[in-house]
């Protein structure tokens, strides 16, 4: 009799390959075209997307490579082996702090978008609270089961996004993509900085890669996953700009949602296509919020080993919800998200370089 494949708390290369893109695409997929068109001229935003993609592919590859050298060790154990216990605690606590704010930002973004397009009269707090309760319920269960939800949801998300792009091609105009290469160097740098938020979240690889059966497969798989997200972002940005033009795109709060609303299916047998788009978007945002909250609890329980997972979860959840209620509008939410994106990227880059240098100096194998 063949052994049941999912009986243990281990994941395969497919789960880790999808976990990164699922974490990344939550909020960035809605606002990325607007963010880049505000900073750059014409369709030059695709250059920033490509540069961000290459940068984060290298960063994800570096994370997965380090973790694969220490099979079976958690992030806290890994950093304790390479550096020391005090350094490990500080690094892990900082990641817990980042995931605390990332989870809050995701919950706040969900309530903001849902209140704007679907539940017009429902209070912001009620939308956020209902969504967050489902996230807490998911995180309180199996961690590996949560990762396998990505494998179920992500193909559906990608299929609907591709349908949106294909059906929008008939409305796109090539003239809207001009001019090209008119942005100066400072503009490209600012575009890369602004696009970082749409790629933030790859730090989950530190914590989920140790659950792999064959961690040596992680570097190539995570690089492929981030590359795939970069391609989706590129196509979505070009098509959105081709449909709405530079000026309109830069003034739309969530251009991707407006793109879905502009779709007209022949025969009119399905109206309000954006409602279907919202359903799949909620799937991907649910995964992002769940993984962020799960990493928060995982980081804290790895330090405070006497506390159980659910105990930590119930302690930190009110704090996550309280912080999510602080941003009152889209402008404050954008500033909050930018701060998270910059901090997460700089800190993750710092940790990767630090661990590589310490391993080289101390001769850790």
Other CB atoms within a 10 A radius of the CB of residue 58 amount to: 14
Q: Compute the chain's Rg from CA coordinates.
A: 20
The pTM of the full predicted model, rounded to 2 decimals, is 0.90
Omega before 179 within 30 of 0, i.e. cis:
yes
Q: From first to last of the 365 residues of the chain, give the pLDDT tens digit.
A: 454 455 567 788 888 888 888 888 876 788 888 888 887 887 788 888 899 899 999 999 999 999 988 888 888 888 888 888 898 899 999 999 999 999 999 999 899 888 888 888 888 899 999 999 999 999 988 888 888 888 888 888 888 888 888 888 888 887 878 777 788 888 888 888 888 777 878 888 999 988 888 888 888 899 999 999 999 999 999 998 888 888 888 888 888 888 887 776 665 555 666 777 788 888 888 989 999 999 999 999 999 888 888 899 999 999 999 999 988 777 788 888 888 888 888 899 999 999 988 888 877 66
Which pLDDT score is estimated for 7?
Answer: 52
DSSP string of 32-47, one letter each residue: HHHHHHHHSSTTTHHH
Q: 148 near 275, Cβ under 8 Å?
A: no
Q: Which are the contacts of 2, defined by CB distance < 8 A and separation ≥ 6?
A: none
- The class (CATH top level) of 13-362 is mainly alpha
Which pLDDT score is estimated for 1?
Answer: 40
Which pLDDT score is estimated for 245?
Answer: 86
Q: Residues 103, 107, 109, 111: what is their CA dihedral angle, to the nearest 10 degrees?
A: 180
């Amino acid at each position: 009799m063949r052994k049941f494949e999912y009986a243990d708390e281990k994941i395969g290369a497919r789960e880790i390959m999808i976990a990164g893109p699922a974490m990344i695409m939550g909020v960035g997929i809605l606002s990325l075209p607007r963010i880049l068109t505000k900073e750059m001229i014409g369709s030059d935003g695709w250059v920033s997307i490509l540069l961000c993609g290459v940068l984060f592919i290298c960063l994800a590859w570096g994370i997965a490579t380090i973790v694969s050298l220490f099979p079976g060790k958690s992030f806290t154990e890994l950093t304790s082996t390479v550096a020391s216990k005090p350094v490990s605690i500080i690094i892990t606590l900082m990641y817990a702090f980042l995931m605390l704010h990332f989870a809050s930002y995701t919950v706040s973004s969900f309530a903001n978008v849902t209140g704007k397009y679907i539940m017009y009269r429902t209070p912001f707090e009620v939308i956020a609270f209902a969504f967050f309760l489902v996230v807490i319920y998911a995180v309180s269960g199996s961690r590996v089961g949560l990762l396998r939800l990505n494998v179920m949801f992500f193909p559906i998300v990608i299929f609907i996004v591709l349908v949106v792009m294909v059906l929008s091609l008939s409305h796109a105009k090539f003239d809207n993509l001009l001019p090209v290469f008119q942005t100066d160097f400072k503009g490209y740098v600012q575009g890369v900085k602004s696009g970082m938020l749409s790629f933030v979240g790859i730090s989950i690889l530190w914590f989920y890669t140790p659950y792999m059966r064959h961690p040596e497969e992680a570097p190539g798989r995570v690089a492929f996953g981030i590359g795939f997200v970069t391609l989706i972002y590129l196509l979505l940005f070009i098509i959105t700009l081709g449909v709405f033009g530079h000026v309109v795109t830069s003034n739309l709060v969530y251009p991707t949602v407006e793109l879905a609303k502009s779709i007209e299916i022949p025969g009119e047998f399905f109206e309000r296509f954006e409602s279907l788009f919202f359903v799949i978007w909620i799937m991907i945002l649910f995964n992002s919020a769940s993984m962020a909250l799960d990493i928060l609890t995982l980081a804290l329980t790895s330090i405070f080993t006497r506390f159980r997972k659910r105990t930590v979860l119930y302690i930190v959840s009110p704090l996550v919800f309280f912080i999510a209620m602080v941003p009152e509008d889209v402008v404050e939410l954008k500033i909050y998200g930018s701060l998270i994106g910059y901090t997460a990227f700089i800190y993750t880059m710092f940790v990767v370089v630090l661990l590589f240098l310490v391993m080289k100096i101390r001769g850790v194998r």
